[in-house]
Amino acid sequence: MKKFIKSFLITLGVIVFVLAAGFGITYAVDKDFALDLLDKIGIQIEQPVEQPDDETPGGDIEVPGEDIEIPGEDTGETEEPENPDDSEEPDDTETYICNVSDYEFDGNTITAYNGDDKYIQIPSSYSISGTEMVKMTFDEMEFQEYLMMNFEDITYPITITDANSEQYTLNSEMDVFENQDIVYPVSLDVEKPIFVEGNDYQVSSVGGFAFSRNENIEGVIMPNTIKQILEEAFYGCSNLSIIEFSNKLEIIARSAFAFNSAIISINLPASLTKIEDTAFFNCNGLTSITIPEIVASIGERAFQECSSLESITINATTPPTLGRNVMPSNVKIIYVPAESVEAYKAAWSDYADKIYSIEELKIA
């Protein structure tokens, strides 16, 4: 009976072992004991051939019909980024256009800009290659201004065509005011020079109204030949935010940059001597400005309505003369040379409580 029970237990153990192996169940068991047990009931198991000890682990595992790549293995192929465009640095450099034919000139002065570029470089010189007839169109106020500003160059009589295609001959500028039948806008054929690249004329001034109300311009570079920026030259250029001045600039005239809300900071050149009335009036994006050493005068309301302007630095040791209401009330600090603090407080008594030494700015 004991022999039968022993045989039964051995057979049961073998069956459990085989079934477990068939279902992939693994557990710890003595290898020699298991083989001996299977041998007693007549089952022969083929033992796997062990790999040589010197075979390098890893590498590719061969599976019929499929290649498996081992993570981390160098395949000799360069891995491409998922988004190649994202790996490139953006190019923030703007191209400044210098096209003489976009401008109109009168002697050494730019009188108008007719281009549509956002970033411009003003030409330093030009030449004239002849003349051409150009049809110009004016509303009533523009036409009156044109006649008054060009009275020395206009040879009367002239013929204009109004909005109803009616033609009128004018013998003087007064005819415009006296003739109530003209329907605006009117057109006029004007002989104009053809401006080309060259060195016959050097540009030394940006004329009055030359860029006025141009909302397309965002950046301008001025050549070092420019000595004056005349009245309202860049008035109302609401998107102009980058200005590189001539290093020979001496005068910024009345309202030259007024109502330019995109200007945040201004680097005025050391050559500047005069800032005229309302030069930067209502530049409400302007936060700081440094006034050069040889500026002798700052005109009335030059920085009024600059609602973001909180500090002004002045490098002149002699206080410039001031017009009325130069600074907006929101200016908190005016930095001046240390040796001139008392002189500024005396000369600029309206702003005495806001004047501090430049040395305090350096410490801050």
CB 282 within 8 Å of CB 303? no
Q: Mind giving me the DSSP string for 142-179?
A: HHHHHHHHTTTT--S-EEEE-TTS-EEEESSTHHHHH-
CB-count exposure of residue 242 (10 Å: 0-12, 13-18, 19+):
middle
Last residue of a domain, one of 202, 226, 256: 202
User: In the prediction, which pLDDT does 81 show?
Assistant: 44
pLDDT per residue as tens digits for the range 258-304: 999 999 998 899 999 999 999 999 999 999 999 999 999 999 999 99
Structure token digits, residue 279? 């030069």
User: In the prediction, which pLDDT does 153 show?
Assistant: 84
Cα gap 250→266, rounded to integer Å: 15
User: In the prediction, which pLDDT does 69 show?
Assistant: 45
What's 154's domain CATH number?
3.30.1490
pLDDT per residue as tens digits for the range 192-215: 999 999 999 999 999 999 999 999
Cα gap 230→239, rounded to integer Å: 20
**pLDDT of 46 strictly over 70:** no
Which residue intervals of 23-52 are DSSP H helices?
Answer: 31-40
pLDDT band with cut points at 50, 70 and 90 for residue 339: very high
Is residue 27 domain-resident?
yes
Is residue 162 domain-resident?
yes
Residue 266: alpha-carbon gap to chain centroid: 15
The mean pLDDT of the chain is 82
Can you say whether the dihedral through the CA atoms of 260, 262, 265, 270 is positive or negative? negative
pLDDT band with cut points at 50, 70 and 90 for residue 88: very low
Instruction: Provide the domain limits for residue 139.
Output: 125-202
> What is the arithmetic mean of pLDDT over 137-159?
89
> What is the arithmetic mean of pLDDT over 148-176?
91
CB 187 within 8 Å of CB 177? no
User: In the prediction, which pLDDT does 236 show?
Assistant: 96
User: In the prediction, which pLDDT does 55 show?
Assistant: 44
- Going by C-alpha positions, the residue among 213, 235, 193, 233 that lies closest to residue 107 is 193
Cα gap 76→7, rounded to integer Å: 61
Strand bridging mode 311-314 / 333-336: parallel
- Which of 46-50, 201-205, 321-325 is the least confident region? 46-50
Residue for token pair 């407080």 = 345
Preceding peptide of 157 cis, ω within 30°:
yes
Last residue of a domain, one of 156, 172, 202: 202
Element (H, E) at 13: helix 2-22
Last residue of a domain, one of 202, 235, 262: 202
Rg of the chain over all Cα atoms, to the nearest angstrom = 43
Which residue intervals of 30-122 are DSSP H helices?
Answer: 31-40
Is residue 136 domain-resident?
yes
Cα gap 342→334, rounded to integer Å: 13
Is residue 143 domain-resident?
yes
Is residue 323 domain-resident?
no
User: In the prediction, which pLDDT does 364 show?
Assistant: 56
User: In the prediction, which pLDDT does 42 show?
Assistant: 55
Is residue 36 domain-resident?
yes
Q: Which is higher by pLDDT, 107 or 43? A: 107
pTM of the predicted model, to two decimals?
A: 0.69
Percent of the chain's residues with pLDDT above 70:
74
Q: Collapse the DSSP code of 110 into the 3-class scheme (helix H, G, I; strand E, B; otherwise coil) and give the result.
A: strand
Is residue 30 domain-resident?
yes
Please give the tally of structural domains in the chain.
Answer: 2
The number of residues in the chain equals 364
* Cβ-Cβ contacts under 8 Å for 111 (sequence gap 6 or more): 104, 105, 207, 210
* Cβ-Cβ contacts under 8 Å for 360 (sequence gap 6 or more): 335
Is residue 187 domain-resident?
yes
